[in-house]
Amino acid sequence: MKTENFDFIEYCKSRGLIKKSNGNMLRKVADDFLFEVRFLNGRYIIPVTPDFYFSKEIPKSKELADHQFEVVQKMTGIELPILNE
């Protein structure tokens, strides 16, 4: 698995997320809903519901990031296509 030069922040940006000043990333997916990626201790956390969070180590390859985002998309029903392909 190729790991060199993979930047998860850039990967998130390619899916339309914007980095905020606190380091978290957001994407408006509906008028009243923001998709959020939080970072903490080498992990990323995506709130799925008020009581459930998807949390994984920050991936070191695009292939792993693609897989994890597929899981999140299936769990949430939110499509986050890569914008610059």
Q: Please state, in angstroms and rounded to a whole number, the distance separating the CA atoms of residues 27 and 18.
A: 6
Task: Give me the amino acid identity at 25.
Answer: M
Q: Please state, in angstroms and rounded to a whole number, the distance separating the CA atoms of residues 85 and 79.
A: 15
Helices and strands (H and E) in the chain: how many: 2, 5
Q: Is the pLDDT of residue 8 over 90?
A: yes
At 8, is the secondary structure helix, strand, or coil? Answer: helix
In the predicted model, what is the mean pLDDT of the chain? 90
pTM of the model: 0.85
Q: Please state, in angstroms and rounded to a whole number, the distance separating the CA atoms of residues 62 and 70.
A: 12
Give the tens place of pLDDT for each residue, 25-66: 999 988 888 899 999 999 999 998 889 999 999 999 999 999
- Supply the pLDDT for residue 3: 47
